[in-house]
Amino acid sequence: MQEKLRIAVQKSGRLSEDSLKLLKECGIGVPNGNNQLKINAENFDAEILFLRDDDIPEYVQDGVADIGFVGENVVLEKNKTADIVERLGYGKCRLSIALPKTRKKRTVKDLDGMKIATSYPFILNKWLKQNRLKADIHVISGSVEIAPRIGLADAICDLVSSGSTLFSNELYEFETILKSEAVLISGKKLSPKRRALLEKLLFRIRSVKKAKYNKYVMLNAPNKSIGKICSYLPGINSPTIVPLAKKDWSSVHSVISESDFWNVIENLKAAGAEGILIIPIEKMID
């Protein structure tokens, strides 16, 4: 029987949608499984396992799945034996300690001796020890934010993205103890065949990620300005310069980083560039 890479994906939720989208961008089809827990992928030697996010680290550790798409916060909380092989850049959030608006604190030392409700006792306890603090941790599986209002805890430690849930429960974010995003984890005992499939998948994922963080730029410029313009456009190796039918003018093609986008565009305009065209990149392979 041909070996396939067993990929664990959260069976529902935003992280599941983004992970399946990434697989699609990597050329891997995931058919609509009609709520099946395991389906074969298309165009790649893989099968997709749809699991609860909390279970994915253990399934990868035990070898039931070879790799898994999961939140970094889940990986650290479950403390299983698995390697983070790629940070994926989506599903970003933070694990923070929040306090009632009526309870103003100045430093983390003010948390000493408090009762803190959380769904992440392992991460919280580790952070408390690192900061030489002691607290009474109350483990709650859901609706953590209500704990201070019902007198169960003085504070909470929970995931925060927009902060709207904290606001609606009259809480404020006091201290961030972990920044998290979606990651790809791998078991430690993959067969050579499955290890090769993982490397193939990582190559595709990195190409997709790199494309998202860069833009393709085309512009026209007088030849006398080409030198200065090229100094702003390093590209992958160097800009491509193509002579135009218009005398003493050329077209310049290159790639610019998303983070430098506006500064670069402003510099190009100032250097004499015209007709600047910016194009998204679907894949980018070195």
Write the pLDDT tens digit of every residue in 177-236. 999 999 999 999 999 999 999 999 999 999 999 998 889 999 999 999 999 999 888 656
Nearest to 8 by CA among 48, 52, 62: 48
Angle at 170 between CA 164 and CA 175, to 5 degrees: 75
Q: Which helix (H) or strand (E) holds 99?
A: strand 93-100
| CB-CB contact of 5 with 197 (8 Å) | yes
- State the Cα torsion 184-187-191-193 to the nearest 10°: -10
Q: In which band, very low, low, confident or very high, does the pLDDT at 245 lie, cut at 50, 70 and 90?
A: very high
| Distance set, CA 68 to CA 35, 58, 74, 187, 222 (Å) | 18, 10, 11, 9, 51
| CB-CB contact of 197 with 45 (8 Å) | yes
Top-confidence residue, 76 or 163: 76
Q: In which band, very low, low, confident or very high, does the pLDDT at 163 lie, cut at 50, 70 and 90?
A: confident
The reported pLDDT for the residue numbered 237 is 67
For the stretch 2-13, pLDDT in tens is: 799 999 999 988
- Quick check: 248 pLDDT over 90? yes
Return the number of other C-beta atoms located less than 10 Å from residue 99's C-beta.
22
Ordered structural domains, the chain, with CATH: 5-88+183-211 (3.40.190.10), 93-180 (3.40.190.10), 214-280 (3.30.70.120)
Top-confidence residue, 154 or 14: 154
* Full-model pTM: 0.86
The reported pLDDT for the residue numbered 234 is 67
Provide φ and ψ at 229, rounded to 5°: -60, -45
Provide φ and ψ at 10, rounded to 5°: -60, 135
Q: pLDDT exceeding 90 applies to what percent of the chain?
A: 79
For the stretch 77-121, pLDDT in tens is: 999 999 999 999 999 999 999 999 988 878 999 999 999 999 999
Which tokens sit at 178? 């972990």
For the stretch 44-89, pLDDT in tens is: 999 999 999 999 999 999 999 999 999 999 999 999 999 999 999 9
